[in-house]
Structure 1
């Protein structure tokens, strides 16, 4: 695993972890690959509405560099590339699971606070 350590030096574990998952799409890419398994680029893009091609490419490159995902190129015509989680990526996904549960509770709390439109 080669890590880019884009920001370091880190002052704590949260700092180091946030460097790896920073950006809106990285945690969602992890979620998509965890829930749907190996995906091609187009499948990932369709599974993440709103992500630009440029941003998806950038995040995939960074995540591969950080050892979170595996990129496999098949030498065929037309070329095929597939992305999957590494063990390291799966371990990060597990670490994010409690944060996701917290976020689900937050969504419920916000929905309960929002006045419902009258019918």
Structure 2
């Protein structure tokens, strides 16, 4: 019986370690103050130009937005489309199909955030 418990604990440690590593990988790609906000706006708005994107995300500087978009493009979440045939040249950003695989995660985080805020407010007003 004691041996079975040790085997179970060892299996749990492996599973736990794999889950921690997977979450760490996911957070590495989408963490930070701005990345999820950018992804959400792109998913909601479709094709969007840089300045419009910056206006829709309060507080983000042009430099930070540019760097975040480059990171998101490298990781396959954003596609940069250059319309060279237009004068002046127009650059748009589009969320990719891969980016849309985060939709359920984003919706779950949104729901959790709404519930959390509600719980905090209820706790504050009860005291």
Q: Secondary structure at the match of 2:112?
A: helix
Q: Secondary structure at the match of 1:78?
A: coil
- Give ranges in structure 1 of 5+ residues lacking alignment: 1-10
Aligned residue among 90, 99, 102 for 1:89: 99
Match of 1:106 in 2: 116
- Which residue of 2, 7, 12 corresponds with 2:21? 12
TM-score (norm. length: structure 2): 0.77
Over alpha carbons, which structure has the higher Rg?
2
CA–CA distance in 1 between the matches of 2:98 and 2:25? 14
Deviating beyond 2 angstroms after TM superposition, the runs of 4 or more aligned structure 1 residues are 93-96, 110-115
Q: CA RMSD in A?
A: 1.6
For these two proteins, the number of residue pairs brought into alignment is 106
Is the contact between residue 38 and residue 84 of structure 1 (CA under 8 Å) also seen in structure 2? yes
Q: CA deviation at 1:46?
A: 0.7
Give the TM-score normalised by the residue count of structure 1. 0.81
Kindly indicate which of the two structures has a greater share of residues assigned to helix: 2
In the alignment, what sits opposite 1:68? 77
C-alpha separation between the residues in 1 aligned to 2:91 and 2:40?
A: 19
Equivalents in 1 of 2:122, 2:65: separation in Å? 34
Structure scoring higher RCO (CA < 8 A, sep ≥ 6) equals 1
Does the Cα contact within 8 Å between 1:45 and 1:51 map onto a contact in 2? yes
Gaps of 5+ in 2: 1-19
User: Alpha-carbon deviations, 1:81-118, whole Å to 9, x = none?
Assistant: 11111111000233222122111111212233345xxx
Q: Deviations over 1:16-75 (max 9, x none)?
A: 110111111110011111111111101100100100111100100000000001110110
